[in-house]
Amino acid sequence: MELTIFGIVVFVTGLAALYASYRSAIYGMAVFSLFGCTLALGLGGIGILPAQLFLAFFALRAFNLAGGKGLADAVAQDKPGFWLLCTCLWGVAGAILLPRVLRGATLVFPVDRSSQFIILQPLGPVSGNLSQTIYCISDVVVYCSMYAFLKYRGVYRTLANAIFLLASLDALAGVIDIFAHAAGIDMLSVVKTAQFADLTGEEMGGLVRISGTFSETSGFSAFTLPLFVFCLNLWLVGYRPKLAGPLALTTGVLLLLSTSGTAYVGLGAYQFVLLVSRPGLISCVAAVRKRRMWVISSCAGLLGALYVIVFLPGVVNALGDFVDAAILSKAGSDSGVERMGWNAQGITNFFDTYGIGVGLGSIRASSFLVVLLGSLGVVGVVCYGSFLGKTLLLPVPAHYPFTERAVCYAARHAMISTLIVASASLSVFELGTCFYIFAAAAGALSQRVPRRVPARGGWVARGAHE
């Protein structure tokens, strides 16, 4: 066992969170999710990241606060979490049984740490079955714990503040990455200690490919886009606009400067979601803000484009080459052809198994949708689709205070943006800690008039209060 300095920090922070206010556990979970490329604890060939290690303290604090009944309420039969639990149970069972029962029935591109190369091979048990099972169970624990916290008064405000802090740190890491590259030093290498392929320090069109605390720019973009969307929607509905607005602007600019195709595809696709969204149902000022935002951004974009075309024709060619390299040529590149092959094989796996799937962690693809379809089959698609549908499509209850409704609305849009980028590029089933924190906030508001639980705290029942 290898305990790193980051692991020590997580242990100390986790122990402090057990005795301090339960709000500190929410801040800790959000902040540690930023370090997606940092080794906290090594167990043989398995590396545990800070957020995964802190999850033990996060769940224990939730259990201490709400008890087993409070955690189980998140997955009650009438809640969205029930379908997430069904997905997890089917995924765990499939990861154990399907690669063995269907051994050799189809060829797969596996998630396997024991192999240095991603090659087509007969279906069978691999290390990915174990790792993705652990991640899937962890996601349910994150969801249930956050759901339990959100039943207490004022926790939606705490969650919003925690995401604001996370967005600030993520933006700071992106800015440091830019200036460190210009200075010729790698300041963030100290937090990139996990065993991932390090693609930092690369350039495209003369611009550094921003990776922040992640190993590559696509990881940074996939993590930052939901934070940008969350802050943007809170600004739209008028929740702490002086903080949410600048954070949305900063993270949005970093996404544009990242040179990441994932960022550009995600931003482009989300524009259609934003166009048809109805923030006016949350706040009367939102519709006006939305119209002003579209008018100002459209005018600024049009004037900027005309200025560049008329006065800077050389820039047009440079931008055209940049867009071609970042997006248009991706599909025809060696990497793009390889990833399309993964997707095609994933769909083939679905049909080869007659819709059953090959088991969680058995295949690698380049789209979350293909991973879901090929790994979990029809049952997994129905269960996970029901979870997303009940979380995202039900109207935000109007009988809650403004803070709860605003954060719930913004969390739903953050989930949608995560699903957009995951559907375009994610190779495994794991969507990340932040996604299930957002999912809990998006689905925790009951359609019935709430019976709120007063805030309280303490490590054990000692009569202590927050």
pLDDT for 342: 86
CB atoms within 10 A of CB 294: 13
Structural domain boundaries in the chain? 2-445
Closest CA to 249 of 277, 275, 228, 219: 228
pLDDT for 208: 74
249-to-255, 291, 421 alpha-carbon distances in Å? 10, 17, 20
CB atoms within 10 A of CB 265: 20
Task: Give 10's contacts (C-beta < 8 A, 6+ positions apart).
Answer: 32, 40, 50, 53, 54
Closest CA to 84 of 459, 439, 466, 441: 439
Whether residue 454 contacts residue 461, with contact meaning beta carbons closer than 8 Å, is answered with no
Strands (E), 265-341: none
pLDDT for 236: 94
DSSP 280: G
Rounded to whole angstroms, the Cα distance separating 166 from 34 reads 7
pLDDT for 258: 85
pLDDT for 458: 41
Q: Is the dihedral of CA 222, 338, 191, 112 positive or negative?
A: positive
Rounded to whole angstroms, the Cα distance separating 405 from 239 reads 10
pLDDT for 249: 93
Instruction: Return the residue matching tokens 């009569």.
Output: 463
Burial-class residue 278 by CB neighbours within 10 Å (0-12, 13-18, 19+): exposed
pLDDT for 55: 94
CA angle 440, 441, 442 (to 5 degrees): 90
pLDDT for 42: 75
CA dihedral 233, 237, 243, 244 (to 10 degrees): 0
Give the largest Cα separation in the chain, rounded: 72
| pLDDT, tens digit only, all 466 positions of the chain | 678 888 899 999 999 999 999 999 999 999 999 998 888 887 766 778 899 999 999 999 999 999 999 999 999 998 999 999 999 999 999 999 999 999 988 988 888 776 667 788 898 898 888 889 999 999 999 999 999 999 999 999 999 999 999 999 999 999 998 888 778 787 887 887 776 655 565 666 666 788 888 888 888 999 999 999 999 999 999 999 999 999 999 999 999 888 888 888 899 899 999 999 999 889 888 888 888 888 888 887 788 777 667 665 665 565 666 566 656 566 566 666 777 888 899 999 999 999 999 999 889 888 899 999 999 999 999 999 999 999 999 889 888 999 999 999 999 999 999 999 999 888 889 899 999 999 999 998 876 655 555 655 443 333 333 3
Rounded to whole angstroms, the Cα distance separating 358 from 406 reads 40
Q: Is the dihedral of CA 9, 14, 19, 24 positive or negative?
A: positive
Token pair listed for 71: 């955690």
